Amino acid sequence: MFRRIHCTVGVGPAPTPEFYFPPSLWSYIQHLTLMDDCFHLTHGRDQLDVPNMRLRPPSHIPHLYVCEEFLGPVVQRTLRQMPLLTKLSLRTCLGVVHGPYWTFLRFALSLPHLREFEMVGLTFCPVVLPDEPFDLDIEGGTCAPLTVFRYEAILTRGRKYAISVEKDALALVLEKTHHSLVTLALPSEPAPISLMARLDWPNLRELRLRGMRWSAPRTPLVILFANMPKLRSLALELRIPDDGDPEAVWPPGLPRSTKFPWPELEHLTVANPHPDDELFAHLPPGLRTLALPSCPRECVKDWLWACENPYCLLAHTFHLLQASRLLGVLKRCSASGLRHLEIEYGTDEREHDLLRFLAAAFPRLSSLSIYRYRGSRETVVCVEDVVRPLASLEGLQALTLHPDFETRPTRIVNIMRGGRLIYPTDALERFANILEGAALRIARTLDKSLERVSLWTPSDGEGPFSANFSVFRDDCTNDVRIQREADTPHEREDVWGM
Ligand SMILES: [Zn+2]
């Protein structure tokens, strides 16, 4: 029962030997999650490009961006006494330029049994101090042969100060682990892309890059990552620069000898797809999941980090493909065996053609996610009309839909909560009833295979939610009823990392 330990650090004074839990348990732990909650998280939150010189860290912290929870020998001694530790997760819930200093990372990554390293929210090595040896060659050992390296940043844009150091630190890690890694997830901004293109990746099954599309190298991704022949899951969730346009993963005009480099691919995400992308014409027969979202999603606009920033320095640019252009993308797709499809588009006169086409082209879909946006605020949404073209999908079990109802609540200024914009509670309750009626009409319109409907709904939390409904059908009377289940938060990644 002690194989997995999850604890929050930073609520008390600096680490002590009893810092985490009784030493008698240390030798059983295989997976340790440390949730950083240190007081100094506020440092680095307000100044993303350069350290705020007016703020001085306490004297025992060597730099404004260094997290004090990972300082000193105690935390290292504690981890060293966990001989079964194979997975280390370091997390925080806030967007900060703040993280473990290199000395700790260098130590943790050399733990001999460590195979999985995960960091969420914190910054991977925000700074290297003058007395820190910047390498991974530790006395008596080196970097562990990691199979999983997953790094998810909450904030990536505008973090120029930290990114140059991070990129060098990540390059050190990847140079040591590229042979063993099976799973790699990185924010795109500090990812050492040129190095990744040069290394070989004989075991990499899963690659995920999320953040702003890089300006260099300009090599098409189909060539850049052709050195990852074992990929089964590829997620390219790349934002388009404010002055840029969507780019193809496989642009037209490449030499005829160009081959699809990932024959075992089963799951593919390409955010902001380009209508002329040759990639979609070469998808392998084993592909089961295709996601073509916008990045960032328009429907999470109210929750994106820029809204928290009083100066709105990081305004977001949204790119939304129109239904007619998305139809062009899907018509190129060579993946008739798809089981899961996600699309996002602005409605136009071809929307019904799009939905009819996908129902015919991908008859084996078991789940479908549609994020649609009305072209005009005056349009009234008739949800039966939207989903009727999908009624021929005889294996569809789960439908997720952002219908863009005109009845969606709007936020108002709440004086009692410091002038914050909030959704009025009674409006949210009224909207919940609207969604329930819509879910029932959807269930009655679609095939009897449907088991679950999830509808987008706003919330006053850190992101929107899905309102979930189970579908029940009486085989004798063909009567359909639904039951509301617990709401679930939108994927955190939709709101973070932008
Ligand atoms: Zn901290």
**Distance from the CA of 153 to the center of ligand 1, in angstroms?**
14
Distance 71 CA to ligand 1 centre (A): 10
Cα–Cα distance measured from residue 277 to residue 329, given in angstroms and rounded to the nearest whole number: 8
Give the Å distance between the CA of 141 and the centre of ligand 1.
27
What is the distance in A from the centroid of ligand 1 to the CA of 125?
12
| Whole-angstrom distance, CA of residue 225 vs CA of residue 360 | 32
Find the 34 Cα to ligand 1 centroid distance in Å: 10
Read off the pLDDT of residues 132-157 as tens digits, 9 standing for 90 and up.
889 888 766 789 999 999 998 876 66
What pLDDT score does 480 carry? 95
Distance 246 CA to ligand 1 centre (A): 37
Residue 336 confidence (pLDDT): 87
Q: What pLDDT is recorded for position 23?
A: 77
pLDDT at site 20: 56
Q: For residue 296, what pLDDT is reported?
A: 87
Q: How far is the CA of 30 from the centre of ligand 1 (A)?
A: 23
pLDDT tens, position by position, 52-66:
545 666 777 788 788
The encoded tokens of residue 376 equal: 């005009």
Ligand 1 centroid from CA 75, angstroms: 13
* Mean pLDDT per 10-residue segment, the chain (498 residues): 60 49 80 78 47 61 82 87 92 76 94 94 87 82 92 71 84 96 95 97 97 92 97 95 91 94 98 96 96 91 60 68 97 93 97 97 97 93 97 98 95 79 91 97 96 95 91 89 93 62
pLDDT attached to residue 451: 97
pLDDT tens per residue across span 247-280: 999 999 999 999 999 999 999 999 999 999 999 9
Compute, in angstroms, the gap from residue 26 CA to the centroid of ligand 1.
Answer: 22
Task: Give me ligand 1 centre to Cα 100, in Å.
Answer: 8
The pLDDT value given to residue 386: 97
Going from the Cα of 137 to the center of ligand 1, the distance in angstroms, rounded, reads 26
> What's the 40 CA to ligand 1 centre distance in angstroms?
6
Distance 55 CA to ligand 1 centre (A): 16
Rounded to two decimals, the pTM is: 0.92
Please tell me the distance between residue 140's alpha carbon and the centre of ligand 1 in angstroms. Answer: 29
Distance 132 CA to ligand 1 centre (A): 19
